[in-house]
Structure 1
Amino acid sequence: MSAKSSEPKQFSPEKFSIAKLVFYALGAGTLTLAVMIPIIVALARPYPIAALCVAIMAIVLMVAVIALVSRKMTAGIQHEIDRRRAELATEHSRADASVNRREEKQN
């Protein structure tokens, strides 16, 4: 039996797709509304103000869920971007140091 990593699943940059991000995020938002709509309908007749409050809360919750899912999916991509920027910065600093040493030797 293999032990699973406790780290959250991150999507690799090579497999990243904008379409997949859109489908996952909107799917999560749709699922949130699908759960909240029966509650809103059940409250609509006896407590219309409560149903309105729940509907507004459902919209805010849907936006939060979409943001959470998209942020989670892009976290791996951002990590990869940051890693590559750090590599480029170290390469540039090494190249600059090399050029500085050559200039010092020439002087």
Structure 2
Amino acid sequence: MGEIRQRPIFHDGEVVELSGEFDVRDLESLRARLDEAGERTAVVDLSGVTFLDLQTTRELAVRLQIHAGSLVFRHPSWAVRASVAACGYENWFRFDAEGTGDETAARPLRDRC
């Protein structure tokens, strides 16, 4: 089961840290947390994610589209990149490598080898 933590970073923003394994059992809490974070500016740190199933990967893609400009995903783990590539969502995701707001498109796994 995945874990969701939050910490403030400035007056109207926060960091949401995801860690562990995320699957269908986590969808409701993940959806609610990302919707809440999307009402402000939030950075979603994905470095601690060890597994994403198809539905969770899709949910991240949908929430990113719904809250475009409010949610920034950063530091995707290998597991996140693998799930994004397996689902064919490379064009849906943009990752901020350093948490600076400078987003770069997700690189397909074949480009990482």
With structure 2 as the length reference, what TM-score do the two structures score?
0.23
Bigger relative CO (Cα 8 Å, ≥ 6 apart): 1
Instruction: Specify the structure having the higher radius of gyration (Cα).
Output: 1
**Which of the pair is proportionally richer in strand?**
2
Provide the TM-score with structure 1 as the length reference: 0.24
Higher helix share: 1
